[in-house]
Amino acid sequence: MSLSVDKTSTGREYKVKDMAQADFGRLEIDLAEVEMPGLLSCRTEYGPSQPLKGARITGSLHMTIQTAVLMETLTALGAEVRWCSCNIFSTQDHAAAAMARDSAAVFAWKGETLQEYWWCTERSLDWGPDGGPDLIVDDGGDVTLLIHEGFKAEEVFEKSGTLPDPSSSTNSEFQIVLTIIRDGLKTDPKRYHRMKERLVGVSEETTTGVKRLYQMQANGTLLFPAINVNDSVTKSKFDNLYGCRHSLPDGLMRATDVMIAGKVAVVCGYGDVGKGCAFALKQGGARVIVTEIDPICALQALMEGFQVLTLNDIVSEADIFVTTTGNKDIIMVSDMKKMKNNAIVSNIGHFDNEIDITGLETYPGVKRITIKPQTDRWVFPETNSGIIVLAEGRLMNLGCATGHPSFVMSCSFTNQVIAQLELWKEKSSGKYEKKVYVLPKHLDEKVAALHLGKLGAKLTKLTKDQADYISVPIEGPYKPAHYRY
Amino acid sequence: MSLSVDKTSTGREYKVKDMAQADFGRLEIDLAEVEMPGLLSCRTEYGPSQPLKGARITGSLHMTIQTAVLMETLTALGAEVRWCSCNIFSTQDHAAAAMARDSAAVFAWKGETLQEYWWCTERSLDWGPDGGPDLIVDDGGDVTLLIHEGFKAEEVFEKSGTLPDPSSSTNSEFQIVLTIIRDGLKTDPKRYHRMKERLVGVSEETTTGVKRLYQMQANGTLLFPAINVNDSVTKSKFDNLYGCRHSLPDGLMRATDVMIAGKVAVVCGYGDVGKGCAFALKQGGARVIVTEIDPICALQALMEGFQVLTLNDIVSEADIFVTTTGNKDIIMVSDMKKMKNNAIVSNIGHFDNEIDITGLETYPGVKRITIKPQTDRWVFPETNSGIIVLAEGRLMNLGCATGHPSFVMSCSFTNQVIAQLELWKEKSSGKYEKKVYVLPKHLDEKVAALHLGKLGAKLTKLTKDQADYISVPIEGPYKPAHYRY
Amino acid sequence: MSLSVDKTSTGREYKVKDMAQADFGRLEIDLAEVEMPGLLSCRTEYGPSQPLKGARITGSLHMTIQTAVLMETLTALGAEVRWCSCNIFSTQDHAAAAMARDSAAVFAWKGETLQEYWWCTERSLDWGPDGGPDLIVDDGGDVTLLIHEGFKAEEVFEKSGTLPDPSSSTNSEFQIVLTIIRDGLKTDPKRYHRMKERLVGVSEETTTGVKRLYQMQANGTLLFPAINVNDSVTKSKFDNLYGCRHSLPDGLMRATDVMIAGKVAVVCGYGDVGKGCAFALKQGGARVIVTEIDPICALQALMEGFQVLTLNDIVSEADIFVTTTGNKDIIMVSDMKKMKNNAIVSNIGHFDNEIDITGLETYPGVKRITIKPQTDRWVFPETNSGIIVLAEGRLMNLGCATGHPSFVMSCSFTNQVIAQLELWKEKSSGKYEKKVYVLPKHLDEKVAALHLGKLGAKLTKLTKDQADYISVPIEGPYKPAHYRY
Amino acid sequence: MSLSVDKTSTGREYKVKDMAQADFGRLEIDLAEVEMPGLLSCRTEYGPSQPLKGARITGSLHMTIQTAVLMETLTALGAEVRWCSCNIFSTQDHAAAAMARDSAAVFAWKGETLQEYWWCTERSLDWGPDGGPDLIVDDGGDVTLLIHEGFKAEEVFEKSGTLPDPSSSTNSEFQIVLTIIRDGLKTDPKRYHRMKERLVGVSEETTTGVKRLYQMQANGTLLFPAINVNDSVTKSKFDNLYGCRHSLPDGLMRATDVMIAGKVAVVCGYGDVGKGCAFALKQGGARVIVTEIDPICALQALMEGFQVLTLNDIVSEADIFVTTTGNKDIIMVSDMKKMKNNAIVSNIGHFDNEIDITGLETYPGVKRITIKPQTDRWVFPETNSGIIVLAEGRLMNLGCATGHPSFVMSCSFTNQVIAQLELWKEKSSGKYEKKVYVLPKHLDEKVAALHLGKLGAKLTKLTKDQADYISVPIEGPYKPAHYRY
């Protein structure tokens, strides 16, 4: 796509695949709202008082139907919103179109190049000459990264006049980031400093982004407060676990139509995401083998009847591989060469470096046959045997299907809304330093409570006597901070 | 679509949606072949001797990728093939295109009208002036029905000169059938008699079609031998059960993206199909309620932890409804009116009369909002509350997803190939009368055996001593006829 | 125990372990009755008309609490009952005591020797000088065997004066049978002929016994009609499957307290019993491997995620072994030698010859350490490594626990009552020849229906229109004979 | 039993049910050792250096076979041990006998009265005139309670000469505690002060005891350091969850033989224990309903397909009730009156006050029928309908079965050993204040690692590069403190 910004009749900027899909997007958003009681409750509870009035929010989070409901919850609470996706394949074009038409400045389409991806990211930060956003909703931390790298480059440039050198990195994606910063520096050497001044804080969605934030906190380089939404119980123990349990088989089915029953499946990593995947595959009738580095998680897998082996033990025997580790170099091209013909290789961790796509692309004589978008068969010349790689190694549930379903995303996103409200409310109070925070347990419990009615559940109420006996307030919170659920 | 027949460069007739999708179809057929070891083994074992040489086969069976592998197995064994789909929504257009281009006369596209459907069915029977097919592969029995009704009408016409009167039926689909027969009768009053003369037999795929065949056998009206493929163990206990366990959630996800976990789901009918559906929903985290008429199946449901209630007990509380009964009038418009907003109503039984679509369409003031093809929201005027109906009440796994996966269809279709081989081999021997037959158990066991290697299984061999002890041959068959598996 | 018959104050014969346990037995029988609605319904429905009045019934069936409820149902319907157990370890002594005191002539205790076992069996047939029983309830067919062998020996003796020679058999148990017959022949050379004259028929409980009956039918040696209760759906698909799913882990836990989660378990045979066992172990968190000879059953196992291997592939790696085949020589001493230290070896098939106990007992230098009754550790001299054998290779759920729970036995035993009623009602009608019969489907459905209310289930009723559409009576039966459930 | 202390030939004190069971206990201890690799590894690793040399350890923890292996691990490391059980029904008498004979001063038997229970507890603290134990292993905190209450009473007595007044409490058990302290005070008014002086610390096993400790820490009344073993991941997420998943059905089966399949079961509380129970019942084929106060746990239950209701909604419909809350007054006699005949009422939480046994015992006209020890049927006079109460409302898995299996207890108890080692090693360093501590994560991971080999698992090793990428040491610990597993 040509990288120029379009404008709606009201002058709002956007760049999406096809504005004609907006009606379809709206119909699916209408359906999703019924499944997202937490977000709808926020609109009802907070909408009248417009608590986000005046807040500019930049979001970098998969531009799906569910995210659209989040975005319109933020605008219903008074915010102005600019948005990009945090993954080149995860945008649902009809959702993007509906948002662009009706509610926000959106820069996202399914199947961006990396170049386009970072262009969109930069667009989402461009709130005009008077600085950037007040608040960030981030997923994986790419917007946060761009600001921190930009800020750092400006510091260096100010001190030494040196521009960042893209060729200093061997990572092709990071070269693009440095190029963008370098090109920006030439025209506006204080852009990221102004942004940093204005920024109230970020709420981060996912394990990977949170890990980056804690590293920056540890290094003392974090530029603004951050709320770790991922580690709300109602996020990490729901979206990561139950979301993946739903969307992993969905991605497999849409991409390959392969029968799961009877197959041997390898799940690399048995964290919340890995647990969800392993259970989904087991329930589909596969025999599941787990790889793990952590003896505790490994023992959990064993207690559920999963065999725990190394990848090498099983690589030539399994039919389906899923990486969920959040680490890199999990399945290398040397592993892929040993696999059975038409073994399926996929990743559901945040970044695509779990699978050695570069090694595969550069393998001498390898042949890529695109079955359909996000489903490629790669054939090795020696054996004429092929493997099927989903979503080019990126999040397969978003690349090949539609990601997590609305209900569980309502839990995650209600945490996001609460985090944004909290950051904005405390913007001048000094409550939040340049550190990473989790939401207090009573808010976590509130998010859960907002989702019970839809499922017909009835909670039991403590008597005063019982509450005293276990030393908790009648209305909660009910558990100590270290409770693991 | 305009109902005129197209021709390939070699002169083979066809009518499909888009010939440009043939390459895509071929790629998916290539993938499917790896998952269909039974069919591939048939090609290897029987291909060289061309046992179906000279046989004209008409098939009426969902025109999917898997069916394409079946069709090319039949042609690899020497047959000539004409094909239509047995459901207006079940065709995969890329599969149809690949077959039309490469292997067979195909008349099928996704989203036929009923008029188009029966036109396609009739085309599939048109082998030119010298009669119809030698063999039929039927699914649901529509081709068999057309021939029997045509034959009957010709008898009446010959005796009394009376043409069939479409208005004599209140069923709008049957009116179309009668119209086709009536119009044909005028130009060729012996067409179906010639067909019947030539016909060696039919192999029927599914419960519903088999039921019709047994009724015709009981009434003495069956015109040719029939092999009941459905009741091969490797069909009904695999495709119906494990196939639906896979494809029901696939259809739900593709059509609605709804989260299954936490929902209340009602499965009407707990036969093999219902069992597959109930387990799929349970494993997805739904609370499943079963309705049944048969106390034995009801007790089976209870033993698995499913609640057994009547539809009326739960109609206003459930989120997802699936009919699997093979019976009619299971969910009426009066039931649908009582449902929760956005309750999902779907059918995975062969015919669409399980759900009262006519009642819904004719409900005064009802509003239909098509979210996307095969996903409609129907809004009742009194409540402004809507339900979501999948695939217009037709087989939702084929209408909204891609049907059963290749591996399990390989079991079913290997039975089909064996049945066709058997009918053709015995065409002159008189072995098969105008009755319904099931395949012998050793062939059923053979079908299973052909699918074990792909899954890495190793069978145990009986010793002579052990075989004698339990009075079976070492090589099987291993079970008495009444064994239920 | 000394083998002399005791008598109650009313003169009824018995031989049990400890009459003082009768009160305890009665308490548990009272509990069991609440769980056995099918049997209680029979008492209500048939009790008043006393349809078994005058019938002498000999039963050879595990003398448990559940069997006691069956026995008292038979007496409530008018029968007179003599009983023995069909397994040396399966008697529950408190149940035997309660029956002996209150309702029947019982000869059974837990831990009989084989000599005692056959003494008890013979006692159960001794109805005094005027012949044997009118009806037999058999489980595994040992009473039926004794009569047939006795009859055969009498024929030979009459013709040639030859007595049976116990040493002609290498099977030590069969030597005992022949000895009993030989000793009886000397004093009464027509005993089994008189029995055969009187006998109306047998109803057989289990797969193994049924197999014997069909062999006798095929050989033309069956002496009286037999009803195959095992193949009622409400027996084989309930007791065998759900009963074992319950009682296998119960036996494992009571015998060894071993944690099932995390273990590797091998289930030999994947019939109904094997399916129940495999699911129980999987649900307990074990990784389950199945061995099979039948490719269809093997493919079923694979579809549920079980690996299918041969015993030899896994023998040195697994922790728990269960045989369920109904065949012999499944786990030999040469296999046991290869097992891990403290591997658990058990059988839940009817006969103990699935496990090579003789080979184990006679292994040079092997050491047996009895942990507690029915739990032995056998240590091999070469390795000083041991295996744990349950119930000496006999039915571990009955030897180490209490067998199947009441509710599922109520299904099985209601079939028994119906079979006994049917045989007795038709005793003079000639309806039943010397063949094996299964109960008609409407009775099978009735058994199921009697068990729904207890579980709170509500059946759906067909309309006339629906019943006609699928060609079944409104009141059932609902399925064709070949339906597999 | 008469409350006098016995002595072994070597002079060690004990009081057990039957010393003749020591051999049987030893056989089962031998089996258990093979299942407890963590404890055996501790013996191998630490045994030679005798790190607990000189330490007097008092334990109050279910005197089972598994605990015996713990005790002998402590003695193998050099400690001297006195032991009582922490529940009146949980002792396995053969285990107690083997320990008393071979390894420790044991005061425990199955079926203690409360009077006897506290006598045993006091005995376990009596190390002679020079004070009490150095270390405590506590489960539920009763030993810790006794010392704290004793200390408090001594303070009061010293200040005011006032003796504790048992009648000041309405709780009959606490009256016993006060009586013991009062009687002791008269003869030795500084006993608990001397104990406190000597005490290095306590390691506490269970949720309930930990809660008490945190309350004392909050109140500033904690007299010595405490290590919270319960909240080691390898304890609470293993023993509580997988242990109960195993032992709940075991207890139900041994106590009642009831069929779980088809039943409606209510699990009160969905913490780790509740989760284990709910899954066990679901897998057994029950329909499970959960009651919860915490919306997060409730939402977790819903995601697994469990219905969430209040007890009152379902009390008259369910068949099986299990309390797991750690709270009191969960099932009151007014609830029990509404239950179905023979509904089963049981508790698997630490204390027996979850079920209103007092209310039941004092209900006018209620009749108690003891089926067998720990299985009572209580009949209400109005309805003549009864309920079945297990283990008098105490831990049913220990009262009616044998508690958690060895393997999972090996995880818990390895944490105990490590905690005891840590407390003893740091006895003089001042590292531990009068606070509650959890074990560091690397020890938690070590416990897990010690249990992998037994289950045949192979861990994956991080490369240096991967470890750096996710910022963890190659050898772990791998997760942040807040990680929930």
**Longest CA span, chain C:** 74
Task: Output the CA torsion B15→B21→B23→B26 (10° steps).
Answer: -70
Chain B: give the shortest CA distance to residue D263, in Å. 8
C154 touches chain B (CB under 8 A): no
Neighboring chain D residues of C407 at a CB cutoff of 8 Å: 258-259, 261-262
B388 touches chain A (CB under 8 A): yes
Chain-wide mean pLDDT for chain D? Answer: 97
| Whether residue B1 has pLDDT greater than 80 | no
Residue-wise pLDDT for C281-312, tens only, equals 999 999 999 999 999 999 999 999 999 999 99
3-state helix, strand, coil in chain C (%, to 5): 45, 15, 40
DSSP string, C131-189: ---SEEEESSSHHHHHHHHHHHHHHHHHHH-PPP-GGG-S-HHHHHHHHHHHHHHHH-T
Give burial (CB, 10 Å; 0-12/13-18/19+) of D370: exposed
CB D325 within 8 A of CB A474: no
Choose the catalytic residue: D232, D236, D416, D420.
D416
Chain A: give the shortest CA distance to residue C256, in Å. 18
Of C287, C302, C304, the CB nearest to A305: C287
Interface test with B, best of A26, A64, A244, A259 (most B CBs within 10 A): A259
Query: Is there a catalytic annotation at residue D239?
Result: yes
Q: Above pLDDT 70, what percent of chain A?
A: 100
C178/A382 Cα distance (integer angstroms): 70
Residue whose entry in the numeric block shows the structure tokens 């929504």: B89
Give burial (CB, 10 Å; 0-12/13-18/19+) of C48: exposed
Query: Is there a catalytic annotation at residue C482?
Result: no
The contacts of residue C363 (CB under 8 Å, 6+ apart) are C333, C380
Residue whose entry in the numeric block shows the structure tokens 């940093």: A196
Of A261, A262, A302, the CB nearest to C262: A302
Kindly report which listed range (A129-133, B478-482, D89-93) carries the lowest average pLDDT score.
Answer: A129-133
| pLDDT band for position B129 (cuts 50, 70, 90) | confident
pLDDT of residue D2: 78
| pLDDT band for position C129 (cuts 50, 70, 90) | confident
CB C87 within 8 A of CB C424: no
Residues of B with active-site annotation: 62, 85, 90, 139, 205, 230, 235, 239-240, 244, 350, 404, 412, 416
| Whether residue B284 has pLDDT greater than 90 | yes
| Whether residue C188 has pLDDT greater than 90 | yes
Q: Which two tokens stand for residue A97?
A: 């179109």
CB C395 within 8 A of CB C348: yes
Pick the residue from chain A with its C-alpha nearest to C304. A285
pLDDT of residue B139: 97
D453 touches chain A (CB under 8 A): no
B167 touches chain C (CB under 8 A): no
Arithmetic mean of pLDDT, B64-86: 98
Answer yes or no: do D408 and C261 touch at CB < 8 A: yes
The residues pairing with C136 across neighbouring beta strands, listed in sequence order, are: C58, C202
The residues of chain A scoring below 50 in pLDDT are none
Give me the CATH topology for the region A6-234+404-443. Rossmann fold (3.40.50)
Answer yes or no: do A461 and D313 touch at CB < 8 A: no
pLDDT of residue A1: 66
Ranges for all domains in chain B classified under CATH 3.40.50.1480: 6-234+404-443
Give the three-class secondary structure for C370. Answer: strand
| Whether residue D1 has pLDDT greater than 80 | no
The two beta strands, C6-7 and C13-14, are antiparallel
Q: Which two tokens stand for residue B425?
A: 């081999």
pLDDT of residue A160: 96
Query: Is there a catalytic annotation at residue D160?
Result: no
Lateral strand order in the sheet of B343-347 = B307-308, B287-291, B264-268, B320-323, B343-347, B386-390, B375-379, B367-372
Q: Above pLDDT 90, what percent of chain B?
A: 99
CB B228 within 8 A of CB B436: yes
C-alpha closest to that of B304 among C458, D263, C278, D322: D263
Pick the residue from chain A with its C-alpha nearest to D480. A211
Answer yes or no: do A262 and C302 touch at CB < 8 A: yes
Residue-wise pLDDT for B141-189, tens only, equals 999 999 999 999 999 999 999 999 999 999 999 999 999 999 999 999 9
Answer yes or no: do A285 and B369 touch at CB < 8 A: no
C270 touches chain A (CB under 8 A): no
Pick the residue from chain D with its C-alpha nearest to C249. D250
Arithmetic mean of pLDDT, B362-367: 98
C-alpha closest to that of B348 among B385, B304, B397, B301: B397
| Whether residue D204 has pLDDT greater than 90 | yes
pLDDT of residue D382: 95
- Superfamily of structural domain C259-349+352-393: NAD(P)-binding Rossmann-like Domain (3.40.50.720)
Of B292, B297, B466, the CB nearest to C327: B466
- Cα A475 to Cα A421, A447, B46, C97, D248: the distances in Å are 22, 14, 73, 57, 30
Chain C: give the shortest CA distance to residue D24, in Å. 7
Phi and psi torsions of C288, nearest 5°: -110, 135
Q: Is the pTM of this model over 0.90?
A: yes
Neighboring chain B residues of C233 at a CB cutoff of 8 Å: 296, 484
Residue-wise pLDDT for B297-354, tens only, equals 999 999 999 999 999 999 999 999 999 999 999 999 999 999 999 999 999 999 999 9
Chain A: give the shortest CA distance to residue C287, in Å. 5
C-alpha closest to that of B385 among B335, B320, B340, B334: B340
Arithmetic mean of pLDDT, D246-271: 98
A304 touches chain C (CB under 8 A): yes
pLDDT of residue C130: 81
Ranges for all domains in chain B classified under CATH 3.40.50.720: 259-349+352-393
Q: Which two tokens stand for residue C34?
A: 């609440």
Please report the ipTM that was assigned to this predicted complex. Answer: 0.96
C478 touches chain B (CB under 8 A): yes
Answer yes or no: do B287 and D306 touch at CB < 8 A: yes
Which subunits count as partners of chain B given 3+ CB pairs below 8 Å? Answer: A, C, D
Arithmetic mean of pLDDT, D292-316: 98
The residues pairing with D118 across neighbouring beta strands, listed in sequence order, are: none
Neighboring chain C residues of D261 at a CB cutoff of 8 Å: 242, 245-246, 407-408
Interface test with D, best of C23, C26, C257 (most D CBs within 10 A): C257
CB D102 within 8 A of CB D12: no
C8 touches chain B (CB under 8 A): no
Answer yes or no: do B303 and C238 touch at CB < 8 A: yes
C80 marked as binding residue: no
Residue-wise pLDDT for C43-83, tens only, equals 999 999 999 999 999 999 999 999 999 999 999 999 999 99
Q: Is the peptide bond before B477 cis (omega within 30 degrees of 0)?
A: yes
The residues pairing with A80 across neighbouring beta strands, listed in sequence order, are: A56
Answer yes or no: do A262 and B455 touch at CB < 8 A: yes
C286/A300 Cα distance (integer angstroms): 12
| Whether residue B476 has pLDDT greater than 90 | yes
Arithmetic mean of pLDDT, D295-318: 98
Query: b/e map of D275-296 (b: 16 or more CB within 10 Å)?
Result: bbbbbbbbbbbbbbbbbbbbbb
CB D133 within 8 A of CB D58: yes
DSSP string, A348-398: -SSSGGGB-HHHHHTSTT-EEEEEETTEEEEE-TTT--EEEEEGGGSBHHH
Chain C: give the shortest CA distance to residue B292, in Å. 6
